[in-house]
Amino acid sequence: MTDTAMHLTTDEIELWAQGLLPAARAMHLADCSLCLTEAERERNVILELVHLLKFAPKAGFADRVMAQVRIPTPSGDWTDGR
Ligand SMILES: [Zn+2]
């Protein structure tokens, strides 16, 4: 039995989704719709995570900015400035 004949493990699917799976194992996906379906699902999960991670720091940054904005100004002179 060759490497390409074996179904991918969960670990291997994770590697594939990250583009790290060796080509010899990735070739199995061309022949096996079962593993391909699993792999695409895993990739979608990872893409979702990447998407969330990209936006999470920005949301935190916005919160910090808003906290700064809410600090009261020492005098009322600034209210006419905008
Ligand atoms: Zn398979």
Over residues 3-46, the pLDDT tens digits come to: 568 999 999 999 998 899 999 999 999 999 999 999 999 999 88
Residue 16 CA: distances (Å) to CA of 5, 54, 75: 16, 21, 59
Cα 20 to middle of ligand 1, angstroms = 17
How many Cα neighbours within 13 Å face the side chain of 34? 6
Cα 39 to middle of ligand 1, angstroms = 10
Evaluate whether 28 touches 8 at the Cβ level (below 8 Å).
yes
Separation of alpha carbons 12 and 25, rounded Å: 8
Separation of alpha carbons 58 and 32, rounded Å: 40
Cα 33 to middle of ligand 1, angstroms = 7
Cα 23 to middle of ligand 1, angstroms = 14
In this prediction, residue 37 carries a pLDDT of 96
pTM of the predicted model, to two decimals? 0.58
Query: What pLDDT, in 10s, does the model give residues 36-45?
Result: 999 999 999 8
Evaluate whether 31 touches 3 at the Cβ level (below 8 Å).
no
